[in-house]
Chains A and B, each alone.
Chain A
Amino acid sequence: MEYFLQQLINGLTLGSVYGLIAIGYTMVYGIIGMINFAHGDIFMVGAFVALISFILFALTSIALPIVLLLTLLIAMVFTACYGWTVEKLAYKPLRKSFRLAPLISALGMSIVLQNYVQAAQGARIKTLQPVIQGGFNFFEDSNFTVTLSYLQIFIVIVTIVLMAIFTLFITRTALGRAQRACEQDRTMTALMGINVDRTISMTFIIGSSLASVAGMMFVMYYGVIDFYIGFLAGIKAFTAAVLGGIGSIPGAMLGGLLIGLIETFWSGYISIEYKDIAAFSTLVIVLIFFPTGFLGKPDIEKV
């Protein structure tokens, strides 16, 4: 029971990180019908920006909550610029080209980002001293103590807040409405007087800034990163997006949590060595039995 609870806490924390990345996959898929293969690397860039920001702030005497907030903002802004650039370079020029072309150029962007970070930051792993320490301990007199760290609470709360803001944005604002319209019919959206190119760019910018927050959480949680972390995390988040139903935003959030839970429970109860296989087996099983994912959209088109 105590052990189970601990896995649950760890799984929800990890799931928050995957969920934030998965939103970017699902939004871009929703709006242009393509998987952004560079999204995992955008997450990695976010982790590096956050790391650099933490290291610089460590030289100052600014209070921790302000450091966290500033790092969050810095990571979001810088990473959003990268996401915007990926869209401008890899997708926009090829929008009228054959379908595979932008996928190939996005794969290219993924490699460019990895090599760029490798060249600029070095290939060796980077470490970050714990930024938030301590936590609550439960069941201390039993033979397994359950820990809920302040960092885990921070990660889950930031994720919930961001997802709430994001949901309001999508459902209540003009830009969110334009994005939902683009998902259905880009030509018609343009005929509403909406700048579709700008709407698509905004989608990349928002997806990237959410991924950067995931990157910040990741570097805080694990304390080590390298230029290659985007690959595995990206594929798992993509699995999460498919699991939830690609194109569905609540689906991405749910899928992220599920993948996080599956991964931690697998490591906790079966084998830590094969934890990555757990996520991918899930992907295969979902694709076979629920090809549209759990919250995939049933169309209610009527002619």
Chain B
Amino acid sequence: MLNISKVETFYGNIQALRGVDIKVNNGEIVALIGSNGAGKSTLLMTISGVNKAAKGTINFDNKNIENLPPHEIVNLGISQVPEGRRIFSRLTVEDNLRLGASSNNKGKNFDEDSKEVYDLFPVLRDRLTQRGGTLSGGEQQMLAIGRAMMARPKMLLLDEPSLGIAPKLVNQIFISIKNINKEKGVTVFLVEQNAKKALELADRGYVLVNGNINLEGSGKDLLNNPDVQSAYLEGGKK
């Protein structure tokens, strides 16, 4: 479904991605783990067209998307929940959700689709008229995921959804990611520092080190891999 091949991305002279190859198949949950500064967010922004790939190709549903502007990529069915959530804090929760629906039949399916989002995250229904910035961190993350779902994506890119969120809510968010994949059939590409949780959830995983893919395998294999354990699991929560 998504085929990333030899992608290189630069910030000025700094090379953040050094020839990344990743494949995500329809219906999968694929996790990407890596330490700070490895290039995870850069990769997601390159897929979404916000950063331009200097070299390599990105193919989605048999269409090359590496030269498309971000809004066209969203229209093809890839939505991103970016690092730090990036809620429109001065706009209401409802406005945030309506913005998410922009690419989806020009927002005409709002009533129907918002119900599905409230089923996933009931708290959002009670917060509709509240400004996004007044939500708690966990609620903002739910809003960010709900907002992305309003586009009816085929594929969801998630950048560290557990970052800065209370452990209890992290579980809830991982459960909803699983639901989104299993029940709504949305393919998920998940970037996480919380390697254990991500690999437990994922069908397959990749390890990104310094802009290179270092390892790949099934979620289970990576969890049991000694290198992964020492680099990403030992120090973290078991």
Partner of A192, one of B74, B131, B140, B164: B74
CB of B103 within 8 Å of the partner chain:
yes
A174-B98, A177-B98, A302-B134 are known contacts. Are A193 and B91 too (CB-CB below 8 A)?
A: no
Question: Are A191 and B98 within 8 A (Cβ)?
Answer: no
Question: Are A193 and B89 within 8 A (Cβ)?
Answer: no
Question: Are B133 and A188 within 8 A (Cβ)?
Answer: no
CB of A23 within 8 Å of the partner chain:
no
CB of B151 within 8 Å of the partner chain:
yes
Question: Are B90 and A300 within 8 A (Cβ)?
Answer: yes
A190-B69, A193-B74, A194-B99 are known contacts. Are A185 and B88 too (CB-CB below 8 A)?
A: yes
Interfacial chain B residues near A188, Cβ < 8 Å: 82, 86, 88
CB of A301 within 8 Å of the partner chain:
yes
Interface size on B, residues (CB 8 A): 34
- A174 → chain B, closest Cβ, in Å? 6
CB-based nearest B residue for A302 = B133
- A26 → chain B, closest Cβ, in Å? 15
- A181 → chain B, closest Cβ, in Å? 5
Question: Are A174 and B90 within 8 A (Cβ)?
Answer: no
Interfacial chain A residues near B90, Cβ < 8 Å: 180, 184, 297, 299-300
CB of B100 within 8 Å of the partner chain:
yes
A177-B95, A302-B134 are known contacts. Are A185 and B106 too (CB-CB below 8 A)?
A: no
Question: Are B69 and A193 within 8 A (Cβ)?
Answer: no
Question: Are B134 and A192 within 8 A (Cβ)?
Answer: no
Question: Are A192 and B86 within 8 A (Cβ)?
Answer: no
CB of A189 within 8 Å of the partner chain:
yes
The CA-CA distance from A66 to B182 in the complex, in Å, is: 62
Question: Are B91 and A177 within 8 A (Cβ)?
Answer: yes
CB of A196 within 8 Å of the partner chain:
yes
CB of A246 within 8 Å of the partner chain:
no
CB of A195 within 8 Å of the partner chain:
yes
The CA-CA distance from A172 to B215 in the complex, in Å, is: 49
Question: Are A191 and B48 within 8 A (Cβ)?
Answer: yes
Interfacial chain B residues near A181, Cβ < 8 Å: 88, 91, 95, 99
Interfacial chain B residues near A174, Cβ < 8 Å: 98, 102, 106-107
CB of A187 within 8 Å of the partner chain:
yes
Question: Are B50 and A184 within 8 A (Cβ)?
Answer: no
Interfacial chain B residues near A185, Cβ < 8 Å: 86, 88
Most chain B CB atoms below 10 A, which of A174, A188, A300: A188
Pick 19 A–B contacts, CB within 8 A, sort by A.
A174-B102, A180-B88, A181-B88, A181-B91, A187-B50, A187-B70, A189-B99, A191-B70, A191-B80, A192-B74, A193-B71, A193-B102, A195-B69, A299-B89, A300-B90, A302-B137, A302-B140, A303-B84, A303-B164
> Measuring CB to CB, which residues of chain B are less than 8 angstroms from any residue of chain A?
48, 50, 69-71, 74-75, 79-80, 82, 84, 86, 88-91, 95, 98-100, 102-104, 106-107, 131, 133-135, 137, 140, 147, 151, 164
> Measuring CB to CB, which residues of chain A are less than 8 angstroms from any residue of chain B?
174, 177-178, 180-181, 184-185, 187-196, 297, 299-303
